[in-house]
Structure 1
Amino acid sequence: MVAQSLASLLQRASIDDHEEVIQSCNAVLAKSKSDLKTQHIKVVALIKLDRYEEALKTFEAGGDTLKKRAGLEYAYASYKCGKLEEATEAVTNVAAGRGASHLEAQVLYRAENFKRAAELYEQLSQDTTSHSHEVNDLNINSWATDAQLQWKGQPEYVRHDRLSREDLESFETTYNAACLNMAKGAFKQSEILLNRAQNICRTSEDLSAEDKDAELLPIMVQQLYVLIRLGKLEEAEVLLQDISVDNISELSTKKIARNNIVLARQTTVNPFILYKALHDTPDAINNDRLFEFQDRDLVGNSHAADLLVQKYEGIIRSTSKSLSKRATPSTDASTNLLSVYNAAAQAEGQTGQKALSKIAPLLERRPTDLGLLLTVVQLYVNSGNTTSAITAIERTLHSLEESISETDQSTRFNPGLLSVLVSLYQLEGRKVQIRTVLAQAAAYWRVKSEPPVSLLRAAAASLLHSEDRADLTTAGEIFRALHQQDANDRVAIAGYVASQATLNYEQVESQLDRLPEVSDLVGDIDVSALESAGVSPSASSAAAAAAAFAGARKRAAGADDRAHKRVRKSRLPKDFDPAKKPDPERWLPIRDRSSYRPKGKKGKQRAAALTQGGPVSEKVEESPAQQKTGGSNAKKPKKKGKR
């Protein structure tokens, strides 16, 4: 009875100090541990004081009844402690409401389900008439979500493109827009936006000096990364003087800052200093941990430093342990990166054929390890052995083809893996194999809910070069499906027309008007400018041009060339007269010239014997060697002497 009166009194009281609220709740709960209302009040006070771990302990003590009553608070405490699965389950069980949607979007963002988070922020932004105070926060969060979508490799879901005037007035939105440009690789634009975000933050009248310093640190850390990517190391060195890593409270931001500082100062000269610097900051935990793309890059930098200091055995043990906990085959970038560093450690600093002799046998034991496969393929390609690279990929695809697992089949027709194989086929001119591989992949993905458009487009374009009517029909079906997904896809329209033009022209005749005229496509092209800039010639033209260029540098000597060629006087005969025409037969032996007249009896006889139509002498018929030596079979006369 006393506990109930205290709980009732606590509900009517207005206490501003949350510590006093907790003390009062503890006093009530000491007499009645199962007082649900008091437990609810206590967890709210703990959350107000950012004591999330204690709030979760209170929820565990209260059981499922308290979790159901205070579902929103339980979801938020779980989210702040990094227990995202519990937070997701809790927030989905909470009755629909604007607060629940905000929290769900935050939980999904932290769980890296950026697509769904972006959808929720879009929905919340559509109803801001009665919630005008949320507009700025929603805009900031939606820009941040788009940046993460770009980093995750899902640019098709990015909604923001240009900053509005209102966006440029907020340093948070400007900063997130800079991050989006960084994800796109537009570092020059990122540098401009980060400078603007810094200026807005420094001149803000709504922030205290301490708050400004806290907000400026992550901006400068990102700016340092951009300067490194732009190669502006001198500017980066100047910026380092303003970055105090020890003042960064978030471990994730501190780890990124230390990583960027190490790269900016180029401590790779001494790999042991680099190794120590990269391992100086502990890993972030709970809700402060790095996102996947950040963790992947930092783990890669860490393993690269390990390789530099020759910690081969340690890398092999750590990567093998991590890989044993992950499913294979996997198209996950982090998993495959671990395989790459595992292979590098196995090679022990060797490259080329020596590295292949150590890594290739591993692929026979782990044929579905894509990271290891791509490492072997790269080594083969670097050595010029594309045939062995193709054989390695085909062997892995054959292993996946025999599996009945849907995951294995999805990996078997992964667009990235097949693009590597197609590129190798192109190097060897295997057009039939290219068409076969792409056709098989298209047949697999066409029945899926979200097929890769780029792969289907490549497969259909490849089938257009086939002489088989069935292939042309398949190409037409693929292009028609792509056109149904995107009515403005001119590539799909052109492909469909090209595939059906020889099969059923009347069916596609109506589509011709939707294609642009050739004159419109090339109307703004300056042919003269292209020629002056240098147009890549065809093989025959290139050969002719090369021959002409060679002829211009080294021409065959002709009569005219000799006439104009300058000859040194030391090489001219003493009686040389430049006005006198030289004898055209001067290059022939004297006896072969038309002016030659033999002298003497023997000379006249030889000339008569060589006259065409004259009498033939048996002696003349003999070869000069036989006339001189009596033939190869003639016996030599015996020397006279004593017997």
Structure 2
Amino acid sequence: MQNQLEEALESIRGQEKTPMVLQLESQILYRLGKMESCIDSYKKLQKLNIDSDDLKANIIGALVAGGRSEEVDATLSALKAKSSKNFEIVYNSACALVEKKKYAEAEEVLLNARRIGQEFLMNDDYAEDEIETELAPIAVQLGYVRQMMGRGQELIDEYNVVLSRNLADASSLAIATNNLIALRNGKEVADGLRKLDKLISKGNSEKPFELSNGLDFRLNPKQKEALYSNRVLLLLQANKIDQAQELVSALQEMYPKSITPILLQAAVFVREKKVPKAEEILTQYSNKYPKNCMPVLLALAQIAATAGHFQISSEALSKVVEIQHMPATVATLVSLWERLGDISNATLVLDASIEWWKNAMDGERNLSVLMPKAASFKLKHGKEGEAARLYEELVRSQGSVEALVGLVQTAAKSDLEKAERYEKKLKPLPGLKGVDVEALEKTSGAKHVEGGTHVAKMEISDEVKKAKAKKRKRKPKYPKGFDPANPGPPPDPERWLPKRERSTYRPKRKDKRAQIRGAQGAVSRDKHDTTAATSGTGAGTSGAISGKAGQASAGSSKGGGSQSALAGNAEQNKGSSKSRKKKSRN
């Protein structure tokens, strides 16, 4: 498909730049992702003053896709399309607001675009399914806007409805799938992988991975990168490290200037417990592209801090100039330097941040957070003078009671006169005027300083002593006939346990001797017969087992037959012995 687009573009290069040729060239360049050339071609068309809503919508769409959303307002004014009633123009202008992260305004414009589109398509006698298909991009974009506004959970059902009805175009379905996976936040990993596997397939040696359904030419590079990136994250969560590494390697070739593949590669290395490699590639990228590397530096700081490499973490975080003096960043840096034992660097971070916020226009709020923490930190590390100066400055500028208390406590260690002077500014606590201090010192537990160090004993009144003396002790009740002087042996502690669970329990042995029943001669003959029958049965059964399974029943019947025959012989022998006994009596 790409080769065909390249051939089509090459075929019109030598032709005259008529409006039709320019429009065709712009569309081909848009499909190829060459947004700058596409925008240039559309600007040539714009100079021809062609009054076409489709052309205006395409120009706005190209500006948004090319990352030049800030030019949309001026272009709309130049095209006289600010109050347009074309839902595609309104939709593209909403996309420009989305790129600027003005989500509330974008939501209003998208709702307006949907309303205009419904009215327009209904007037053209479109069916409900056709209207839903035409307006699917607006519905998906509206869902994304609400997702960015923190209303994502209510959109899961809406995304599922869009995907189940399958009425939208392929690009809208792909975006809805991607947004739904992101909305689940790591849940239902297997289902997410199944959905993405339908969109992403392996290609050839030149292009290891590609998107199905022509999505490579319907989605812009940012959208395609998001699809691939989410698949890497799902593979990591599914513990399919090899597949994730394969896709990440391809992404670095497909998007060499993007930060996302580097971050994903670092995540794969961390998952493989190769933290030094992750730190190495992040450091290399930050040195190569120092301007737009804040996410890389933050990732490096986090990975290094988690691994206990506090030096690397503090150095990486110190390079993030954009958030250098934010209270959270300052707190993290101070903690890292403190763990490294470098108190001087930690103090420098605090002092630099305080000085920066003093010169800022709206720094009072952050100063009220940073200065008490800085004073507490300096007091902790033996810098009472600097801590007292910070507290004193807070008292003068803000009149904070907490700062005044901190100042009194800090100054009491180095400058008692200052501590007493500021202590007088503290308001007395209510309810303490009627308290007799001398009486408190004489109460139980108080130490009396004037007459020497001793603990005052609490005086007990005579009434309390009499009440204690009147209490009589009740004699314990013993069982009938029990003599407490001679209690005898203690009861068995295991008396409540069952006999089988007691330590003294010994089970009875079974009598292994043969049971003699009947006359002695008959018993010996029975034993002999039983032994013979058993040997016959064993022979038949063993033959059956050694053969096939189908022959097992035949072998058993043979054994059974031999046993019954022997039993019959035994009965005959018994009968003959009885007859002999009767004859002898006669």
Gap change, CA 1:390 and 1:110, over 3 Å in 2:
farther
Amino acid in structure 2 at the alignment position of 1:339: I
Residue 392 of structure 2 is matched in structure 1 by 544
In structure 2, distance between residues paired with 1:363 and 1:235 = 37
* Counterpart selection for 1:566 from 423, 427, 435: 435
- Which of the residues 251, 259, 268 maps onto 2:170? 251
The CA deviation string for residues 321-371 of structure 1, in whole angstroms up to 9 with x for no partner, is 554x569xx4x11xx422322221222276xxxx63453467799998879
Q: Would you say the 8 A contact 2:235–2:241 is kept in 1?
A: yes
Structure 1 residue 166, shift from structure 2 partner: 5.9
The structure 2 residue matched to 1:284, chosen from 212, 227, 238, is: 212
**Deviation at residue 550 of structure 1 after TM alignment:** 3.9
Offset, 1:295 = 0.9
Could you tell me which amino acid in structure 2 is paired with residue 259 of structure 1? N
Q: Could you say what secondary structure the match of 1:93 adopts?
A: coil
- Following TM superposition, by how much is the alpha carbon of 1:316 offset from its aligned partner in structure 2, in angstroms? 1.8
Q: How has the CA–CA distance of structure 1 residues 110 and 190 changed in structure 2, closer, same or farther, with 3 Å as cutoff? A: same
* Shift, 1:95, TM fit: 2.1
Of the three residues 31, 47, 56, the one matched with 1:126 is: 47
What is the correspondence of 1:351-390 to structure 2 with a 5 Å cutoff? 356-357=275-276, 359-360=278-279, 374=297, 375-376=299-300, 378-380=302-304, 387-388=311-312
Q: Displacement of 1:144 after TM fit?
A: 0.8
Give 1:87 shift.
2.8
Partner of 1:239: 158
1:202 to 100, 118, 121: 118
Matched, 1:110 2:27: no
- Equivalent in the alignment of 1:275: 193
Are the aligned partners of 1:262 and 1:278 in contact in 2 as well (CA < 8 Å)?
Answer: no
Judge conservation of contact 1:172–1:197 (CA < 8 Å) in 2: yes
Change (3 A) 1:158 1:199: closer
Post-superposition offset of 1:175: 0.8
State how far apart, in whole Å, the 1-side matches of 2:13 and 2:31 are: 15
For 1:101, the equivalent position in structure 2 comes to 22
Deviation of 1:303 after TM superposition, in Å, equals 0.8
Match of 1:145 in 2: 62
Instruction: Name structure 2 gaps, 5 residues minimum.
Output: 201-210, 331-360, 372-385, 410-418, 453-586
The Cα of 1:137 is off from its aligned counterpart by 1.6
Equivalents in 2 of 1:276, 1:82: separation in Å? 30
Residues of 2 paired with 1:338 and 1:312: CA distance?
A: 15
2: CA distance, partners of 1:168 / 1:343: 47
In the superposition, the TM-score normalised over structure 1's length comes to 0.46
State yes or no: 1:341 paired with 2:193.
no
Q: Is 2:236 aligned against 1:319?
A: no
Aligned-residue sequence identity (percent) comes to 18
- Kept after mapping to 2: 8 A contact 1:171/1:200: yes
Output aligned runs, 1:26-41, within 5 Å. none
Separation (CA, whole Å) in 1 of partners of 2:84 and 2:43 = 20
Could you tell me which amino acid in structure 2 is paired with residue 549 of structure 1?
V
| Alignment partner, residue 102 of structure 2 | 186
C-alpha distance in 1 between matches for 2:102 and 2:284 = 42
Which residue number in structure 2 is paired with residue 216 of structure 1?
135
Amino acid at match of 2:135: L
- Residues 442-480 of structure 1: per-residue CA shift (max 9 Å, x gap): xxxxxxxxxxxxxxxxxxxxxxxxxxxxxxxxxxxxxxx
1:62-121 Cα deviation digits (max 9, x unpaired): xxxxxxxxxxxxxxxx7xx67333233222222221111111111222223323322332
Matched, 1:303 2:151: no
Q: CA RMSD in A?
A: 4.8
Higher radius of gyration, 1 or 2: 2
- The separation in 1 between residues aligned to 2:237 and 2:73, in whole angstroms, is 39
What is the Cα deviation at residue 257 of structure 1? Answer: 1.7
Q: Secondary structure at the match of 1:92?
A: coil
**2:242 is aligned with what amino acid?**
E
User: Aligned-pair distance for 1:307?
Assistant: 1.0
**Residue 53 of structure 1 corresponds to which residue in structure 2?**
none
Counterpart in 1 of 2:9? Answer: 88
Shift of 1:290: 2.2
C-alpha deviation, 1:542, in angstroms: 5.1
Residues 191, 223 of structure 1: 8 Å contact kept: yes
C-alpha contact (below 8 Å) 1:390/1:421 kept by paired residues? no
SS at match of 2:135: helix
SS at match of 2:12: helix
- Pairing of 1:624-635 with structure 2 (within 5 A): none
Could you tell me whether the CA contact under 8 Å between 1:303 and 1:341 is conserved in 2? yes
**Would you say the 8 A contact 1:255–1:281 is kept in 2?**
yes
Question: How far is 1:419 from its partner?
Answer: 7.2
Summarize the alignment of residues 521-532 of structure 1 with structure 2, pairs less than 5 Å apart: none
Residue in 1 aligned with 2:223? Answer: 294
Give, as a single letter, the amino acid of the residue that structure 2 aligns with 1:177: S
Please state whether the residue corresponding to 1:203 is helix, strand or coil: helix
Matched position secondary structure for 1:279? helix
- Counterpart CA distance in 1 for 2:108 and 2:20 is 35
Partners in 1 of 2:47 and 2:95 — Cα distance?
24
Tell me by how many angstroms 1:310 deviates.
0.9
Q: Distance in 1 between matches of 2:156 and 2:20?
A: 44
